[in-house]
Amino acid sequence: MYRLVRGILFRLEPERAHALASAFLRWLGRIPSLAARLRRRFHRNDPRLEVRFAGLVFPSPVGVAAGFDKGEGLAAGLFALGFGFVEVGTITPRPQPGNPRPRLFRLPRKRALINRMGFNNAGAEAAARRYARMRFRPGPLGFNLGKNKDTPQEEAQRDYLRAFETLADLGDYFVVNVSSPNTPGLRALQEPEALRRILVPLRERAGNKPLLLKLAPDLADESIDELADLALELGLDGLVLANTTITRRGAEDEPLAQEAGGMSGAPLLERAVELVERVYRRTQGRLPIVGVGGIFSADDAYRMIRAGATLVQAYTGFVYQGPAFARSIESGLLTRLDRDGHASVMEAVGAAVRTSAA
Residue 210 is part of a domain; what is its CATH number?
3.20.20.70
Helix (H) or strand (E) holding 354: helix 351-357
180 is catalytic: yes
For residue 102, what pLDDT is reported?
96
CB atoms within 10 A of CB 54: 19
| 125-172 per-position pLDDT tens digit | 999 999 999 999 999 999 999 999 999 999 999 999 999 999 999 999
Q: Compute the mean pLDDT over every residue in the chain, rounded to the nearest whole number.
A: 96
Cis? peptide before 102, omega within 30° of 0: yes
| 65-86 per-position pLDDT tens digit | 999 999 999 999 999 999 999 9
What's the length of the chain? 358
Q: What is the mean pLDDT of residues 200-204?
A: 97
| 242-277 per-position pLDDT tens digit | 999 999 999 999 999 999 999 999 999 999 999 999
3-state SS, residue 245: strand
Dist CA 289 CA 312 (whole Å): 9
Number of structural domains (the chain) is 1
Dist CA 240 CA 315 (whole Å): 14
Which residues form the domain of 310?
2-357
3-state SS, residue 149: coil
Instruction: Tell if the pTM clears 0.85, that is, is over it.
Output: yes
Maximum CA extent, the chain:
52
Dist CA 111 CA 316 (whole Å): 8
Amino acid identity, residue 344? S
Spot the catalytic one: 22, 60, 179, 180: 180
Q: Report helix, strand and coil shares of the chain as percent, to nearest 5.
A: 45, 15, 35
Instruction: Write out 284-350 in H/E/C secondary structure.
Output: CCCCCEEEECCCCCHHHHHHHHHHCCCEEEECHHHHHHCCCHHHHHHHHHHHHHHHHCCCCHHHHCC
Given a contact cutoff of 8 angstroms between Cβ atoms, the answer to whether 326 and 60 are in contact is: yes
Dist CA 128 CA 71 (whole Å): 8
Dist CA 321 CA 1 (whole Å): 11
